[in-house]
Amino acid sequence: MSAERREGGEVIGGEAGTGRDERSPPPPSRIGRSGSPLRFFLLESLVVVFSVLVALAVDQWREERAQEAMAREAMADVVEEVRANLRELEYTESVTRDRLERLRELAPRIGTGRPYFEQLGPFPGYYTADLSVSAWERATG
């Protein structure tokens, strides 16, 4: 079968002996590739390096966001722990003031002959503040 050529070099009806007709895709070309293979290699390498740098920047940004979130959470825990410790210290202060007042009331009765424990009443024991440092240790350790 012979092929006809139109103006502009387009083949109609296929080329004899090639098995190609007008619906076959054109052979691969170097369209879009300008210059030598070295230039293409350098351009491709540049794209790869740029992609890796972008990926590293995104990963670092993600890590910083995660660390900032952890820091905010740790700060909130420390603030809550400080507030709880303050409440505990305020309670300890009130208990200590009550006991001090009872001892001051007892002072004028010293030397009356009655044993001190009878004058003081039941001993409530010692009370020390139970302060927490676990949130601080987690945040700093």
Is there a contact between 14 and 3 (Cβ–Cβ < 8 Å)?
yes
pTM of the model: 0.53
What type of residue is 81? E
pLDDT given at position 15: 52
- For residue 135, count CB atoms less than 10 angstroms from its CB and return exposed for 0-12, middle for 13-18, buried for 19 or more: buried
| Average pLDDT for 65-88 | 94
CA 103, 105, 110, 115 torsion-angle sign: negative
Statement: residue 46 has pLDDT above 90 = yes
**Alpha-carbon distance 68 to 75, whole Å?**
10
Token pair, residue 87, equals 């409440």
**3 state DSSP class of 17:** coil
* 87-131 pLDDT, tens digit each: 999 999 998 898 888 888 877 777 777 776 676 667 667 778 888
Residues 71/77/79/80 CA torsion (nearest 10 deg): 160
pLDDT given at position 62: 98
pLDDT given at position 21: 56
